[in-house]
Amino acid sequence: MNVPIIAPSVLAADFANLARDVEMINQSEADWIHIDIMDGVFVPNFSMGIPVVEAIRRHAKKFLDVHLMIVNPEHHVEAFQRAGAENISVHIEVCRNMHRNIQQIRSLGCTVGIALNPHTPVTLLEDVIQDVDVVCVMSVNPGFGAQTFIPHTFAKVRQLREMIAASSSKAKIEIDGGVNLSNIHELLEAGADILVAGNFIFSSPDPKAVISQLKTVQ
């Protein structure tokens, strides 16, 4: 198993002390900072926007992974790139022309992620898997933090890993939702590369220690 990329989700951070929590991530063994953008349309919740991404960018020393849970993402990706996004993930469920979305994000100099809701089959990625850098597999229903991990995710990751290998794609598999020490080993065995964790990290009395534990599990 490869050493995973750990991406704390600031959706679970203390927004009144966001700079403090971003600095904690800077000082930790985390690799990325995961930022969830919700529009209240695609998912039943609102979260963050371009000014918050800009504020995080001013303090962050880690790679910014921006996950757009929004409709019409093509109208907004350029603004998020200017705000500091380095990877931008959009949902396959809202992209009517996936190739165009991929080309748009890559033209901005960002790496490209495609996200899938729990009910969305990985087979829908067959025609684009060679063109993307990250596949973000939602392991909870999107819209809220602190949800329970959906066990079918393990089979989905294994299927996706087979598809990536068969197509010689370089895409990395990202797991978003409910990641903790009880499922990380099986996720890595199934083929996951990037692990997003929010509440599990930020609800701990020692978030840096939890990040270290996630980083070193084998």
Active centre residues (catalytic) = 36, 176
Q: What is the 3-state secondary structure (H, E, C) of 178-195?
A: CCCCCCHHHHHHHCCCEE
What DSSP designation does 75 have?
A: G
At what angle are helices 18-27 and 207-216 packed, to 10 degrees? 40
Q: Is residue 93 within 8 Å of residue 117, measured between CB atoms?
A: yes
Q: Is residue 211 within 8 Å of residue 28, measured between CB atoms?
A: yes
With b for 16 or more beta-carbon neighbours within 10 A and e for fewer, the 71-106 pattern comes to bebeebbbebbebbbbbbbbbbebbeebeebbebbe
| Tokens found for residue 73 | 């993402």
For the chain, the farthest-separated pair of C-alpha atoms sits apart, in whole angstroms, at 46
